[in-house]
């Protein structure tokens, strides 16, 4: 497991915190290695099973942070985080949690609208008002207009009594809208 807990979009915030269960983590900025280190060993982390890794790059440079996790010297995982551009489009994703949406069972799932730049990177400071609509064999529970927080707006979708297609649409002024198709069984 490896997670970069930093958006890498603020020149004032140069510390990069990485959470991992690896022995060592190497951090790259735009392809150049910044450092390789072991987990933190301070008063805040010495009793944790998997302490975080804290990196302090000397300068901020927009681009891509890449973390590489090593266990016993072998590369086992990689994760990247890029500086975002301007808000451009909406991407919809359903959280099915590995299960099918079932009709006639009061089944409900979350659908998330992500505000992203042209490259699909989430824009964490986006707070756009998103408007949602549903057609077909389902409905929205709750509000149909939601302001994004940290570039994300969730809605609840309930499967109808009859199985079928559920088309979810999300739009916002100035952004490319998105449609997502679900199937309830």
Residue where a domain stops, chosen among 30, 47, 82: 82
Distances (CA, A) of 2 to 6, 86, 152: 12, 27, 22
In this structure, are 143 and 71 located in the same domain? Answer: no
Q: Are residue 77 and residue 93 in the same domain, yes or no?
A: no
Residue 38's H or E segment, with its range, is none
One domain for residues 97 and 165: yes
Q: Are residues 51 and 132 in the same domain?
A: no
pLDDT tens digits, one per residue of 111-142: 999 999 999 999 999 999 999 999 999 999 99
The two beta strands, 138-141 and 108-116, are unpaired
What CATH number is attached to the domain comprising 59? 2.60.40.10
Whether 108 and 179 map to the same domain: the answer is yes
pLDDT at position 47 over 90: no
139 and 161 assigned to the same domain: yes
Write down which residue in 82, 116, 144 finishes a domain: 82
Count of structural domains within the chain: 2
Domain boundary among 61, 82, 103: 82
**pLDDT at 45 (0 to 100):** 85
- Which residues form the domain of 117? 89-184
Mean pLDDT score of the chain: 93
| Same domain, yes or no: 108 and 23 | no
């Amino acid at each position: 497991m490896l997670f970069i807990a930093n958006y890498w979009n603020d020149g004032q915030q140069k510390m990069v915190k990485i959470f991992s269960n690896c022995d060592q983590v190497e951090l790259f900025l735009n392809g150049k290695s910044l450092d390789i280190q072991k987990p933190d060993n301070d008063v805040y982390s010495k009793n944790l099973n998997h302490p975080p890794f804290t990196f302090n790059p000397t300068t901020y440079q927009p681009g891509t942070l890449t973390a590489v996790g090593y266990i016993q010297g072998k590369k086992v995982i990689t994760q990247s985080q890029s500086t975002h551009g301007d808000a451009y489009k909406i991407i919809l994703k359903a959280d099915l949690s590995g299960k099918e949406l079932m009709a006639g069972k009061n089944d409900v799932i979350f659908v998330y609208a992500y505000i992203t730049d042209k490259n699909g990177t989430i824009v964490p400071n986006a707070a756009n008002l998103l408007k949602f609509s549903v057609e077909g064999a389902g409905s929205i529970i709750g509000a149909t207009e939601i302001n994004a927080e940290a570039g994300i707006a969730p809605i609840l979708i309930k499967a109808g009594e009859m199985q079928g297609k559920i088309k979810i649409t999300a739009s916002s002024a100035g952004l490319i809208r998105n449609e997502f198709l679900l199937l309830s069984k």
